[in-house]
C-alpha cells in the first residue's frame, strides 16, 4: 500500500518506480539521473501521450510531470489520469513548472495534486517530494 510518510520514517522501504514526464531532454535527463542515483527505478516519457501509454503497461508509484509540453500538456494528462477509472487513477503526481502554479491551483485542488516544484528546482527538493511517497515494506 502506498502511503505518505515523513522523511524521518523512511526505514524498511522498497524503492519507488517513478515515471518522469518532461519534454525538455536536459530537464528529463537531470531528473532521471538524480532519482536513479538515489536508488529509484525510473522510466521517462517526453510527452503526455507516451506517459499514458506507459501507465497502461507498467506499474508506477509516482509521476513527476512537467506542465508545459507539446501535444498533450500536463493539464490534460492529469485530467485523463484522474478520470480514466483505471487502477492508476489515484497515482501521486508531482508537478514541475517554470511558469508559476497560481494558474493551476483550481486544477490541482480538483484532481488532488499536492506536490509541485518551480523550475529551476533544487534536486534535493525533488528527492524530498518523491521520498514522501516511499512505501513501507
Helix or strand or coil: residue 41? strand
Mean pLDDT of 103-113: 84
DSSP run (H or E) holding 43: strand 41-45
CA nearest neighbour of 95 among 61, 64, 73, 121:
64
Please check whether residue 91 is in contact with residue 69, taking contact to mean a CB–CB distance below 8 angstroms. Answer: no
Domain topology for 19-136: Rossmann fold (3.40.50)
Q: Where do the domains of the chain lie?
A: 19-136
The tens digit of pLDDT for each residue in 21-79 reads 999 999 999 999 999 999 999 999 999 999 999 999 999 999 999 999 999 999 999 99
- Computed over every residue of the chain, the mean pLDDT equals 86
DSSP run (H or E) holding 27: helix 25-37
Amino acid at each position: 500500500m502506498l502511503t505518505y510518510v515523513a522523511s524521518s520514517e523512511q526505514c524498511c522501504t522498497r524503492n519507488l518506480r517513478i515515471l518522469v514526464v518532461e519534454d525538455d531532454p536536459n530537464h528529463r535527463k537531470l531528473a532521471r539521473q538524480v532519482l536513479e542515483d538515489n536508488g529509484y527505478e525510473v522510466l521517462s516519457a517526453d510527452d503526455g501521450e507516451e506517459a499514458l501509454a506507459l501507465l497502461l503497461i507498467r506499474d508506477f508509484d509516482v509521476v513527476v510531470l512537467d506542465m508545459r509540453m507539446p501535444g498533450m500538456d500536463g493539464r490534460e494528462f492529469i485530467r485523463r489520469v484522474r478520470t480514466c477509472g483505471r487502477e492508476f487513477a489515484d497515482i501521486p503526481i508531482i508537478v514541475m513548472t517554470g511558469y508559476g502554479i497560481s494558474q493551476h491551483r483550481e486544477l490541482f485542488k480538483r484532481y488532488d495534486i499536492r506536490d509541485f516544484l518551480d523550475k529551476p528546482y533544487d534536486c534535493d527538493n525533488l528527492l524530498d517530494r518523491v521520498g514522501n511517497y516511499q512505501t513501507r515494506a
